[in-house]
Every structure is written in structure tokens, then in C-alpha cells.
Chains A and B, each alone.
Chain A
Amino acid sequence: MLSRVAERIYWTARYLERAENTARLVNVYSKMLLDLPGGVDIGWYNLVTLNSAEQLFGQKFKRRDERNVIRFLLADPDFSGSVLTSLKMIRENIRTTRDALPAEAWEQANESTLFATSRLDEGLRRGDRYEYLDGIIRCCQQLSGLLDTTMRRDAGWEFFRLGRNLERADMTSRLLDAGASMLQEHPGREEPLNLVQIVCGNVLRSASAYQPYRRVIKGPVRSRLVVRFLLEDELFPRSVAHCIDQMIDAAGALPRQRRVLKLLKCERKQIFAELDEEKLEHDLRDYLNSLQLQLADFHRAFSHNWFALEQPGDT
């Protein structure tokens, strides 16, 4: 398989996750807003920080308010994490790899883009936002499900899994970060007691993890347990551990995988070895940040190994 084709399939998967998860991320914030007691200010701009997009945002908007942040996250053409940009990238990548993907994927990608563009106004209005975001998530899941049930399990599929799980792990860490940043802004005894409850509940729900958490943990929602669940539960498909295991599995099925596989396995151990109570309590945001850097390293390893070959002998 040509590196270019593999890379485009990989990015199709990444953007598909990205579109869905950006929608989830905006959803958490919007819902928390509904749940929080009056007078608790919510830092919309955190969503920009979480996506490491401060600079780009600064070039476009002065006011860091809800309206601008939402517009930026849903529709900004230059922000590669915006829902519309992600959907357009999915469409372009599928368009140029049509031979390697099921034919219906192209139609589904077109429909998704059409939905997201034509009903954007609803997403920008607070009142209709939930439905819009829900629609986006559904579109993504439809395409995802289509590929899941129709793609041949060849190298293309493994690259799809690599991209999907890398992006998903990354976005799960950002969802946690979103919660953590919210709690950090309101460190507080003076705050109503249920703030932790509200934030954690919404983080779980936005990752579709509320019920699984309840079933596994069988206890109240506590921030530390929520973090551990979303990081460590090997059986929950959006947990970081599960995503890394999936990447290990996918890489294992690809040619010339030795170095990548070694890196993935080695870092998997490292990532969870570092996770002690101290970290969970005080340095969670630093920990999540370094986790994101580690995931970026995985991407570089994939790219170097399979996509961007430069000289003969450069294997």
C-alpha cells in the first residue's frame, strides 16, 4: 500500500474522531453551564487553551466570550480542530482514497458536511446547540459504524485504527483537562459542595462513560476515580489505556512495525506507572499535558515509520 493512501486513511480516522470529540467537548461545557448554580462563572476560553489554539484564536477574536469561542470551535476554517474543518478534511481524504474505502463512505461524508454547514446557525445559538452537537456526533458515528462494518481488515483498516485511537486518547485527555480546569478555576470551599459532582458527571457523560463507570465503580462519582476510569479502564473504548492497546494491536498487524511497537509498549507501561495519588491530587493538568505530548510522539513515530520515507535504506 502506498504511504500516501495509508496516511490519508489514518487522517480520515483522526479527523472523524476530532469532529466528534470537539462536539463532545463543547457539549460538556454547555451542559455544565446549565447545571451550575447561578453566579458561577464559566471560562469558555478554557476550551481554546485545551486545544492549544490560543495564538490562532487571538488573531481572529478580541473578546474571549462564549459566542466567539463557540464560533471558533465549530466553524473556524483555519482551526484544524473545528468541527467544520474536520468534516471537510474527512471529505477530502475520503475523496482521494476512494479506491481503498467503501463507496458509501463518500456519500456519508458528503451528507455530514452538508448537515454541519447548513445548520451551523443552530449550533451557534445556545438554545439549539445541544441538538446540533448531537447531530454532529451522530453523523460521525454513522460514518464510523459504516467503516467498521464494511472495511476490509487489511493494512488500510489498521491505519484507520491507529488514527482513531490516537486521536481518541488525545481527546479523552482533553475532556479530563476540561473538567480539571473548571475545578481549578473554582477551588473552593466557598463554592457549593456539588461542583465536583457536576463537573465529573458531565465529563463522564460527554465521553459516554457515565453508565459504564457506574457499573464498574459501583459507588459515588469521585474525581479521582473518574480520572482513573477514563485513563485506566482497559475495557472502556474511550479510555486512554484501551486506545493505546488498540494502537499496539493495529501496529502489530502492519509491516516493519518493530520500532513503533516497542515505543508503544514501553510508553504504555511508563504512562500508568507515573500515575500515583499525588499526581491525581495536585499535578493532574501537568500529567495530562505530558500525556498529550507523548501521544504526539506516537504520531511522529507512525509518520516517520510509514508515511514520510526519504532515502533508500531509510527504513
Chain B
Amino acid sequence: MTIDWKQYNPGDFYDELISTPGHPRAPARRLVSYLGSLTADEMEARRITAEATIQEMGVSFTVYTDEGNIDRCWPFDIVPRVIDKKLWDVAAAGLKQRLQALNLFIDDLYHEQKIVRDKVLPRHILDESQNFRPECVGFSPPCGVWAHICGTDLIRDRDGRFYVLEDNLRVPSGVSYMLENRAITKRVLPEMFDSYRILPVDDYPDKLYDTLAAISPRHQREPVMAVLTPGIFNSAYFEHAFLAQQLGAELVEGSDLLVGENDCVYMRTIDGLEQVDVIYRRIDDLFLDPEVFRRDSVLGVPGLMRAWKAGNVALANAPGAGVADDKVVYAFVPDIIKYYLDQDPILENVQTYLCDDPKQREHVLKNIDSLVIKPANESGGYGMLIGPHATEKERREFAARIRKNPRNYIAQPTISLSTAPTVTDRGKVEPRHLDLRPFVLQGLDLEVTTGGLTRVAMCKGSLVVNSSQGGGSKDTWIVDRKGD
């Protein structure tokens, strides 16, 4: 028995591989027919290979449970997602444009705040921002860049176009899984790499290295770099260790670092104290430095902000970069692009209503049963209301919260995430929803990953792609069909 593609029906969602039952999209044609030629046993064998590879490579993430923390194996689906290079090139240009504008925006907010004076961004939105750090005002980071590493979540709506769902400018994670997914797929579907020109993804660590090296305060040949992790109990610890290893950087915890009286940062090594030039920090602003932010933070390094402001160490992302990672600011990104770059945005936002605006608020309150309401500053899908799935009581409660604190809420139409064939049972595939997180880098240059991390909601009909909540992932192929 083989996959019967005629039985595969994505309904009225945009499917990444299949346009209508039995008809694959052009870039996916070879993949679909190849998978169709495999028997159920052969499909199952591939899946087992993938599982074994994941265990061998030790790809894991941490789940918190009552019995302590467990390393779970990374859930992976063997059917790749295929995107045509021509389409991707446009999206990539849009991602670069977006990050460039966001960095100009952040830099402006910590200096003259022209965008506020010119009334493009209302003053009170800035005043009430939870991620604006007054401690950073007046500082000019190297290259003028605040957000060096950005994870932008893209979705495809029913029309098949890419839309930006959110910009993660604080400590976005997932890039290591993107790299591992490719390594797994090379073992599971090696034949496909002959019949397609699949663009490689593994230059990311080198590009990340260049980005970080560009902001080093000491211009020596090989700057000393460290990846600062909250430690083994963090769910992304695997990634921190992975990236440190790929960068040739030390994986450090706060207690490994100290700031000297000369305002330089050192790490404690058996060779003595070694000065650190660049810290790729994977802990939040508020935990960075107990002298400046949360006093009870044991994850951070006392004096780190002092050293950063003195220009003796570079932090990526810079403290305060999160001011642009706010769902209200998100709604203004198209204006921000226009304002700083004088360009039209290449990538569109998902339509967003600001509860802060009286007219839009009225619309939201009236249509709460069909909208998704999100708090402005939460990440990971916390504190959301999905209108169509909520009870009357929940809706009433949310409406009250919106009236009480309108600046804190935005609303978006329920989005129909695209789908792709996903193995659900022995040799069977069904459509599952997915999104895409490319990673954008800005140092001296702007770079985008080739594709990104595709996250899949493994449960039927689910829109939740987070790995901690049963989400999985797929390899993402950007294929060059020129001359095919």
C-alpha cells in the first residue's frame, strides 16, 4: 500500500505541497511522486531512521514536569516542506527590510525619538511600553544595531501569501533545530538531494559568527565569544550548547563571568581570567544584571550593564531591543518601514486592531467572538483569547480586561495557517497546520536563513505549534528550479 494522494484533502486551507486532491504544486511534484512510490513499510522504515538519528545526535528539548526536568527527543516529521526559491527571495528581502527598519526604530527611540515627535508613533505607546529600558537611553551600540538576531514568525493564509505574525527580538530560539532537521533529512531522504537543487542551510553558524565578530569592541583576529545560558534547566539549553559549540564560543552561566573594576567582563577559566568581547546572551533583559534590573537575579552578572555601556563588551541582542518586540508596536511596523526607509513593506502584517484606539476597540468588543485577542507583551501564547473557541463568560472577562487596560491588548482575525502532509500513522499522511520561523541577522550585513524552522501542530486541526505543547517540526526546502 502506498500513499493515495487523491485521498489527501487540505480543505479550504492553503496546502504547501498539494493544490487540490491528487495535484501537487509544481515545486513539490518530484517529492510527492517519490513519496507516493514508497510502500507503507518503506515509509515506516524512513520514520524509524529519523527517530534513531535524532536519538543518536541527542537532539532534545527540556520539558518541565512535577518529577523534574526531562529531556525529550525532538518531534520531527519526515515529509519536508518545499518552497520555490523565487518566492522565498521576495520573503527574504522583506525580512531584511523589516529588521533594518526595526533597528533604526529602536536606535531612534533611545536617542531623539523623531518618530514620536513626527507623530507616527503615539507618545503614550512608548510611555507605556514594558520593554523600553530607560537605562539604555543615549547609548550607541556598534554598527547602530540593537537586534542582531531576530526570529520572525511567518504564516501563509488561504491566499498562499506570507504574512508576518510576530517579530521575536529578545531571545528567539529554534535555529539549532532548523540545522538538525536538515541533517536528519539528508539521512532519511538522500535520493531527493540528487533530484532537487535544495539550497543549503548550514552556513548559519558562520554568518552568526560574522555578525557577532562585527560588534566586538576589541578588533583582534578572533574575538573571545561566550553564549550566556540560564543553565541546564532552560528548555532551550540544547540549543545554547549547540550554538556555543558551532561558534567556537564558551557556554557560560552568569557565575562564570565577572566584571572587573576596569569595567571589562572576564570569564573564570583554569588559565585565569579571560576577557570576553562578545556575549550572545540567551537570558532576558531583566535577569542580565542584578545591579540594574532584578536584584534577585542569580542568572546574570553584576556590573554587566556598566561594562556594556562603557563599550567594553558587546551584548547580542542589546538590552532594550525588546521595545520593538511588542504586539502594539508590531501594528506600526508598516509605518515604521515607510518612515525610516521610505519604502513600501514587502511583507505584510496580519491585520491587527489596537484596543488602544477607541474606534478599533469598539470594533474588537463588538466582534470578540470571531477575533483572537493577545496581550501586548507576552510570548509563547500565554494569556490569549481565541474568540470562536471561548465561552461566553471568558469573552465577558476579556472584554472587561480590554476596557480596563486597552494599551495592553491587540486583536487579530482568526488566522488560517497553511497545512502540509504530515505522517500520522504507519505510512499515512494527513494535513497539519504549520508556521515558519526564519532567522534574520544584522551586523555589518543583513542575512536571512535559507528558509527557517517549520513548526507543525501535530494534532489534527490544532493551531498550536509550540514544542512544549505537542508541536513538531519539518525540514524546510528552498528549491531552485531555474533551468528545470
Contacts and interface: CB of A to CB of B under 8 A. Distances in A.
Contacts of B255: 4
Given A2-B250, A4-B255, A95-B232, A314 B273 contact: yes
A4 B256 contact: yes
A126 interface: no
A11 to B, nearest CB: 14
A2 B268 contact: yes
A155 interface: yes
Contacts of A309: 258, 266, 268, 272-273
A255 B270 contact: yes
A157 interface: no
Interface in A256-315: 256, 306-312, 314-315
Contacts of B268: 2-4, 307-309
A93 B258 CA distance: 22
B241 interface: yes
Contact of B271 (A255, A307, A310): A255
A99 B241 contact: yes
A4 B253 contact: yes
Interface string B183-217: 00000000000000000000000000000000000
A183 interface: no
B434 to A, nearest CB: 32
A255 B241 CA distance: 25
Q: Chain A interface residue count: which class?
A: 20 to 34
B261 interface: yes
A307 B258 CA distance: 13
Contact of B252 (A2, A99, A103, A254): A2
Contacts of A4: 253, 255-256, 268
Nearest to A156: B270
A30 B253 CA distance: 44
A310 B272 contact: no
Interface string B240-272: 010001000011110110101110101111111
A2 B273 contact: no
A23 B355 CA distance: 67
Given A95-B232, A96-B232, A3 B270 contact: yes
A34 interface: no
Interface string A128-166: 000000000000000000000000000100010000000
Given A4-B253, A4-B256, A95-B232, A312 B270 contact: no
A254 B273 contact: no
Closest 9 CB pairs of A and B: A3-B268, A312-B260, A309-B268, A315-B272, A255-B271, A306-B270, A6-B270, A1-B270, A4-B256
21 contacts: A1-B271, A2-B250, A2-B270, A3-B256, A95-B232, A96-B231, A99-B245, A103-B58, A255-B272, A256-B271, A256-B272, A307-B268, A309-B258, A309-B266, A309-B268, A311-B258, A312-B262, A312-B264, A314-B273, A315-B272, A315-B273
